[in-house]
Amino acid sequence: MVSIIRRRRNGLIPYRLGAMTHRTATSGIHTWLVLMKAHRTLTRHAQRSIEALDMCLSDFAILEALLHKGPQPVSELRRRIDLTSGSMTTAIDRLEMRRLVSRTDHATDRRAWVIHLTPAGEALITKVFAGHQQAMERAMRGLSKTERTTLTDLLKRLGTTAEELLTKDEPNA
């Protein structure tokens, strides 16, 4: 048995964790639930910061990908951002109408478009991204820079391993 102190409204009380409780706290399902709740809360922070700057999340994601990765074929943007084909087309149309992106023919695939930031799009996403970055720094202030680095490394490893398992388990793999 592990003994810890747990906070109660009227003070601190000793609390014992049995072997079963300890196992549950480190189980895959518990880790997934904690990760899901943290993701949900951080997503709300992200949405609030982006929407406060008069932009929807999908438009922000497209502009941010173009800012940091350069011009992208629509199919690559869709893969990175995880939007349906119809949602991607609608978002690009909306951004093009606002003169934030432009479409050019793909160099080798006549069926495809490459999406570029316009100067106005680059100016806007640079400004919006800076505000979003500050908001996310505030949301993450519960962790030190060292803890963030460790968490990032662990999450990358977790994501890579989980993706490998999915790929291995797919029928055509």
Q: What is the CATH number of the domain that holds 90?
A: 1.10.10.10
Whether residue 29 is found in the same domain as residue 103: no
149 in a domain, yes or no?
Answer: no
E runs forming strands in 38-169: 72-73, 101-105, 113-117
Q: Which residue has the tokens 């549950």?
A: 24
User: pLDDT tens for residues 22-37?
Assistant: 445 788 899 999 999 9
CB 86 within 8 Å of CB 94: no
Whether residue 28 is found in the same domain as residue 100: no
81 in a domain, yes or no?
Answer: yes
160 in a domain, yes or no?
Answer: no
CB 7 within 8 Å of CB 93: no
Minimal CA–CA distance to 142: which of 19, 22, 42?
42
Whether residue 18 is found in the same domain as residue 66: no
Q: Which residue has the tokens 């899901």?
A: 36
Whether residue 76 is found in the same domain as residue 129: yes
19 in a domain, yes or no?
Answer: yes
CB 71 within 8 Å of CB 62: no
Using pLDDT thresholds of 50, 70 and 90, give the confidence band for residue 68: very high
- What residues make up the domain containing 72? 57-141
Q: How many domains does the chain have?
A: 2
pLDDT at 20 over 70: no
Whether residue 29 is found in the same domain as residue 90: no
pLDDT at 90 over 80: yes
Whole-prediction pTM: 0.70
48 in a domain, yes or no?
Answer: no
- For the chain, the first-to-last Cα distance in angstroms comes to 45
